[in-house]
């Protein structure tokens, strides 16, 4: 195709510039006038929800590449420590076997996943989510305040939640070593 024929089939630069300016003005108005309702009690449209869900899933998968779980991930000490941390930091959003929905978990949007149900994330992906959190989901970045060994302890416990009975859950939480401050004190770099 020669240059002249191609030029006749493509929009002109002034037209393209005007269209881009119009789209920018419309997008700015959309944001400025608050047209999209961001209230947590008004769900996203299906298209927005699907887009955000895909973005989240792909981001987690890509950023968790190369993370290697520790060889002792299934150690009883990790499970016990993770049970205590989960009871202090996670249960109110993610619940547990036999745990009733809390006021906090009911008000979240998107809803926090109930981790006692089947999960499709690898240990590395779970570690990345706990450490870095998820924007606009109320999932905090625990890596800002907790060292990697404690995050792996949480992952060890979370990986055992599916299939755990309410009685086993209560027993593990009740038998967790020490309190949160005590666990943090024993970590390198913590006071």
Asked whether residue 190 carries a pLDDT value surpassing 60, the answer given is no
18-67 tens-digit pLDDT? 999 999 999 999 999 999 898 989 999 999 999 999 999 999 999 999 99
Residues 17 and 95 occupy one common structural domain: no
Does residue 37 fall inside a structural domain? Answer: no
Residues 50 and 143 occupy one common structural domain: yes
Residues 63 and 101 occupy one common structural domain: yes
Instruction: Work out how many domains the chain is built from and give that number.
Output: 2
Asked whether residue 184 carries a pLDDT value surpassing 80, the answer given is no
Q: Mean pLDDT throughout 184-190?
A: 62
Residues 10 and 50 occupy one common structural domain: no
Does residue 87 fall inside a structural domain? Answer: yes
CA angle 133, 149, 191 (to 5 degrees): 95
Looking at the chain, the number of H-run helices and the number of E-run strands are 10, 0
Q: Nearest to residue 155, comparing CAs of 37, 67, 92?
A: 67
Residue 1 is predicted with a pLDDT of 65
Q: Mean pLDDT throughout 158-185?
A: 87
Residue 177, C-beta contacts closer than 8 angstroms, at least 6 positions apart = 77, 80, 81, 84, 183
Per-residue pLDDT band for 85 (boundaries 50, 70, 90) equals very high
Does residue 133 fall inside a structural domain? Answer: yes
Q: Domain holding 132: CATH number?
A: 1.10.760.10
Residue 188 is predicted with a pLDDT of 59
Provide the domain limits for residue 15.
3-32
Does residue 41 fall inside a structural domain? Answer: no
Residues 102 and 179 occupy one common structural domain: yes
Residue 189 is predicted with a pLDDT of 56
Residue 186 is predicted with a pLDDT of 64
| CA–CA separation, 107 and 69 (whole Å) | 33
Residues 27 and 51 occupy one common structural domain: no
Which residue is listed with tokens 């024929």? 5
Query: For residues 8 and 78, which has the higher predicted lDDT (pLDDT)?
Result: 78
Does residue 172 fall inside a structural domain? Answer: yes
Does residue 175 fall inside a structural domain? Answer: yes
Residues 8 and 87 occupy one common structural domain: no
Does residue 8 fall inside a structural domain? Answer: yes
Residues 69 and 110 occupy one common structural domain: yes
Q: Mean pLDDT throughout 157-180?
A: 91
Do 88 and 154 form a contact (C-beta atoms < 8 A)?
no
Per-residue pLDDT band for 121 (boundaries 50, 70, 90) equals very high
| CA–CA separation, 120 and 122 (whole Å) | 7
Residues 82 and 28 occupy one common structural domain: no
**3-state SS string over 114-133?**
CCCCCCCCCHHHHHHHHHHC
Q: What is the CA 10 to chain-centroid distance, rounded? A: 43
Residues 25 and 52 occupy one common structural domain: no
Per-residue pLDDT band for 119 (boundaries 50, 70, 90) equals confident
Does residue 58 fall inside a structural domain? Answer: yes
Residues 17 and 105 occupy one common structural domain: no
């Amino acid at each position: 195709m020669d240059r002249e024929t191609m030029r006749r089939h493509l929009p002109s630069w002034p037209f393209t510039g005007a269209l881009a300016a119009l789209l920018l003005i419309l997008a700015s108005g959309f944001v400025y006038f608050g047209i999209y309702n961001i209230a947590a009690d008004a769900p996203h449209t299906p298209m927005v929800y699907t887009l955000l869900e895909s973005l989240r899933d792909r981001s987690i998968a890509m950023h968790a590449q190369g993370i290697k779980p520790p060889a002792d991930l299934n150690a009883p000490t990790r499970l016990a420590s993770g049970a205590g941390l989960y009871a202090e930091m996670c249960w109110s959003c993610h619940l547990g076997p036999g745990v009733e929905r809390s006021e906090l978990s009911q008000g979240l949007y998107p809803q926090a996943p109930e981790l006692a149900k089947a999960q499709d994330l690898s240990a590395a992906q779970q570690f990345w989510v706990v450490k870095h959190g998820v924007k606009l989901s109320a999932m905090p970045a625990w890596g800002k305040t907790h060292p990697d060994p404690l995050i792996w302890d949480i992952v060890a416990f979370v990986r055992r939640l599916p299939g755990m009975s309410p009685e086993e859950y209560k027993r593990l939480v009740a038998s967790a070593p020490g309190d949160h401050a005590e666990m943090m004190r024993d970590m390198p770099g913590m006071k």
